[in-house]
Amino acid sequence: MNAAKRLEIFRRLHEDNPEPKTELAYSSPFELLIAVILSAQATDVGVNKATARLFPVANTPQAIYALGVEGLSEYIKTIGLYNSKAKNVIETCRLLVELHAGEVPQTREALEALPGVGRKTANVVLNTAFRQVAMAVDTHIFRVSNRTGIAPGKTVLEVEKKLLKFVPKDFLLDAHHWLILHGRYVCQARKPRCGSCRIEDLCEYKLKTSDD
């Protein structure tokens, strides 16, 4: 795919949704961090239901740490893998209090040192909470990047690096959100909705479908 096509793809995605946002509900960098940790192998809708109960009761590292693993588990037991996630969140809260004065760090290294925080989670927090250029490649972005030809790659890291290189600079900050939303609602895994796609004519996917 050439640079002109990529530019037009992101121009259209921007035109349709000038200020894309994550679908996770949060009101602080800490709430976002916790929501993203909980969202591994879970839906944003499911996470939002759990945090809608949790955050009014505890939405700081100190308050969630005070709940303990068992107390936190009661709020998040509707989410998959809640036991291991509860342990990771409690330990993350402890480290935030002890090492970062209760604040979410703004560097990849410090974020990835927290339990339950991998590269993808760190990228989401850096990009969404702190508006740093970062590309969190989840299953949606990996699929869309490969299927369309925007940034094909065999691994998540390869796709991440290609996106950072190939996405036009003016659109880099929000590209992660556009690609996730496109993968979630249009370029879906089982069958892409090519008939409803704004970038169908620019996409290099060979097996185009109708929406029937």
120 is catalytic: yes
- Select which of 16, 49, 120, 169 is catalytic: 120
**203 labeled binding residue:** yes
C-alpha to C-alpha distance for 188 and 184, rounded to whole angstroms: 6
Q: Which of the following is catalytic: 16, 49, 138, 161?
A: 138
C-alpha to C-alpha distance for 82 and 67, rounded to whole angstroms = 15
Look up 206 and say whether it is catalytic: no
Contact predicate 130/29, CB 8 Å: yes
Tokens of 25: 């509900």
d(CA 166, CA 2): 9
Contact 61, 93 (CB under 8 A): yes
Distance CA 177, CA 183 (A): 10
CA distance 81 to 163: 30
Q: Any binding-site annotation on 93?
A: no
Binding site membership for [4Fe-4S] cluster: which residues?
A: 187, 194, 197, 203
Q: Could you list the active site residues?
A: 120, 138
